[in-house]
């Protein structure tokens, strides 16, 4: 049985002071649970966040990283830097990185390999745009993103990776894929993993849903057979809503 994983992607939000406040509220409201809880603050708050979550059940992730170890890459950050401030996870291939910053499947694959080599757990994001869904090519898009993203990743490595399906048209729009729509794509992803690796490996991989997840829709979404958690955006910026999603999973 796969445990549920709820991750909060803060995106470009929260000063250090705001981060301290949010983490304090999360720690206060979080009861002992077997649900894995991850927060992904901006780079500037990672060190502070790591100090604050010590001894709690909250784990730390970053929102992005470069695939090179070091060098002349102004504005970038390396895997070893993330590890040095306590990160265990890193989001890779988020739709905003793909759409706004032009990151290709091949570039994201390089990041996946670098993260794995540094013992960081990738949260590999895949998902289609509204135009692609309307063209009925959701599965083609997701298949390419997933298989290129996992190119040359071994079965053992794949078992430790988290996949996040995020329909781009549902991110920050208030629209949400119906539980049935989300489950269909999650099941498809698991089938692809089974074809690439094995049924045993596919059954071990955590597949999250991301796209306007809120306390009000979390239970129905996360009750689906192949949905193992959520990558939460806007709703993770307020403790009560993020805690509400975690509580919905427990119920």
- Active-site annotation, residues: 94, 166
Q: Residue 187: phi, psi to the nearest 5?
A: -65, -40
CB 90 within 8 A of CB 80: no
The alpha carbon dihedral of 247, 18, 83, 100 has a sign of positive
Under 8 Å CB-to-CB from 100, ≥6 apart: which residues? none
Closest CA to 158 of 185, 186, 108, 121: 121
Strand runs labelled E in 127-226: 162-165, 206-209
d(CA 88, CA 102): 25
Q: And the tokens for 238?
A: 């307020």
d(CA 59, CA 53): 7
Q: Residue 6: phi, psi to the nearest 5?
A: -110, 120
d(CA 178, CA 196): 27
User: β-strand 162-165 against 5-9: which pairing, if any?
Assistant: unpaired
């Amino acid at each position: 049985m796969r445990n549920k994983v709820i991750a909060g992607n803060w995106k470009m939000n929260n000063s250090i002071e705001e981060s301290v406040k949010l983490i304090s509220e999360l720690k206060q409201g979080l009861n002992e649970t077997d649900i894995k809880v991850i927060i992904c603050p901006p780079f500037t708050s990672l060190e502070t966040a790591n100090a604050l979550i010590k001894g709690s059940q909250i784990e730390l992730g970053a929102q992005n990283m470069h695939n090179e170890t070091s060098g002349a890459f102004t504005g970038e950050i390396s895997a070893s830097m993330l590890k040095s401030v306590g990160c265990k996870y890193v989001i890779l291939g988020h739709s905003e990185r793909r759409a706004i910053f032009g990151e290709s499947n091949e570039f994201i694959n390089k990041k996946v390999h670098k993260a794995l080599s540094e013992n960081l757990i990738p949260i590999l994001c895949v998902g289609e745009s509204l135009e692609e869904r309307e063209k009925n090519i959701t599965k083609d898009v997701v298949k390419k993103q997933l298989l290129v993203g996992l190119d040359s990743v071994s079965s053992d490595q794949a078992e430790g990776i988290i996949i996040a399906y995020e329909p781009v048209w549902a991110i920050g729009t208030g629209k949400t894929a119906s539980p049935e729509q989300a489950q269909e794509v999650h099941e498809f992803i698991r089938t692809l993993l089974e074809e690439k690796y094995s049924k045993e490996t596919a059954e071990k991989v955590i597949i999250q849903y991301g796209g306007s997840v809120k306390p009000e829709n979390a239970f129905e979404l996360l009750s689906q057979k192949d949905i193992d958690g959520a990558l939460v955006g806007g709703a993770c910026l307020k403790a009560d809503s993020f805690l509400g999603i975690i509580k919905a999973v427990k119920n």
